[in-house]
Amino acid sequence: MRKKSLRKALLFIFAAILTLLNIAPLLWVALSSFKTRLEIFSSPPSLFPEKWQVQNYIDLINVNLPYLLNSIIVTLLSTLGVLLLSVPAAFGLTAFTFPKKRDLEMWFLSGRMMPPVAAAIPFYLTLRQVGLIDTHIGLILLYVGIGIPLAVWLITSFMRSIHPAIYEAARIDGCKWRDIFLRITIPLSSGGIATATIFITIFAWNELLLPLFLTNRFAKTFPVVLTSFQGQTEIAWELMCAGATIQVLPVIVLTFFVQKYIVSGLTLGSVK
């Protein structure tokens, strides 16, 4: 028995070392964000900054605050839009039976499979025509479309666990479908909706391709800013590290809230 628990303890230590190695790149970037440019290029490199300083963050924010705000605005509003469309749709897919329901579900799923670049030209030309290039609204409209498949599938997989007898009972009591949706389904699936919300928020926050070609100055989001540190003759690694840390920190915090559901989140509920 003792031998067995010793083995387990050793395995745990091994797992802990692996985990540390796995997130070491993230820690390294976070540590580097507090270093001066001189330290970044020093050889041999030092693990911790000589003196913890936040000048990189100040420099970064001074120039890029509007873009960070863009990211926040677009992420929050598009998440709201996704929910407004997807929660009713998920209800429609779970509370009712109708012909070809399975096909409709699969059609929702296929939206998740579409390579965004394949729709780049229509998105770009259409938005240009209606004057929505480089605006928040233009970005939000497209982010919502990208979020719907994920949200519908994920929320559907949570709503399936509501027993149909509940709906039947409510119908017999003369409850309208709208009231069933608002008073029964939403409260009962609030956990699933919250999970889906976090996933949509993370994916919207992480999006690069759409803002890359749909914005140029005003509505630029933070991920686009991050790519701009490269390409010049010298890469401003210290600013890049600070920017990467700002970009990733909210994602990591949110991940801890949904860690139980990550598998179902990333497979749209098909694996629990």
Partner 1 sequence: MIAADTRISESEVVMARSLGKFLARKSDISLGFLPGFDFGWRRFFRHPATPFLLPAVIYLFALTIYPFFYSLGTSLLNFSLTSPRPPTFAGLSNYKNLFLDDLFFTALLNTGLITVASVVIEFIIGFSIAHLFIAIADIRASHLLRTVFILPMMVTPVVVGLLWSYILDPLFGIMNFLLSLVGIPAQPWFSDANTALWAIVFVNVWQWSPFLMLICLAALVSIPRDLYEAARIDGARWYQIVMRIELPLVRNTVLVGIIFRIIDNFRMFDIVFASTRGGPGRSTEVISLYAYRQIFQYFNAGYGAAAAVVVLLIAMIITTVAAKLLQSEAYHA
Q: Is 271 in the site for partner 1 (CB under 8 A)?
A: yes
Contact (CB, 8 A) for 166 and 91 = no
Give the footprint of partner 1 on residues 163-182 (CB under 8 A): 177, 181
**Considering Cα of 177, then 181, then 182, then 185, what sign does the dihedral take?**
positive
Out of 1, 51, 115, 172, the only residue in the binding site for partner 1 (CB under 8 A) is 115
Round to whole Å and give the CA distance between 244 and 240. Answer: 6
Contact (CB, 8 A) for 109 and 148 = no
Give the footprint of partner 1 on residues 210-239 (CB under 8 A): 212-213, 223, 226-227, 229-230, 237
Give the footprint of partner 1 on residues 85-114 (CB under 8 A): 85-86, 88-89, 91-93, 95-96, 98-100, 102-104, 106-114
Q: Is 80 in the site for partner 1 (CB under 8 A)?
A: no
Round to whole Å and give the CA distance between 145 and 151. Answer: 10
Give the footprint of partner 1 on residues 58-77 (CB under 8 A): none
Contacts of residue 40, defined as CB under 8 A and 6 or more positions apart, other chains included, come to: 32, 237, 238, 241
Shortest gap between Cβ of 28 and partner 1 (angstroms)? 6
Shortest gap between Cβ of 78 and partner 1 (angstroms)? 12
Token reading at 218? 């005003």
Q: Is 266 in the site for partner 1 (CB under 8 A)?
A: yes
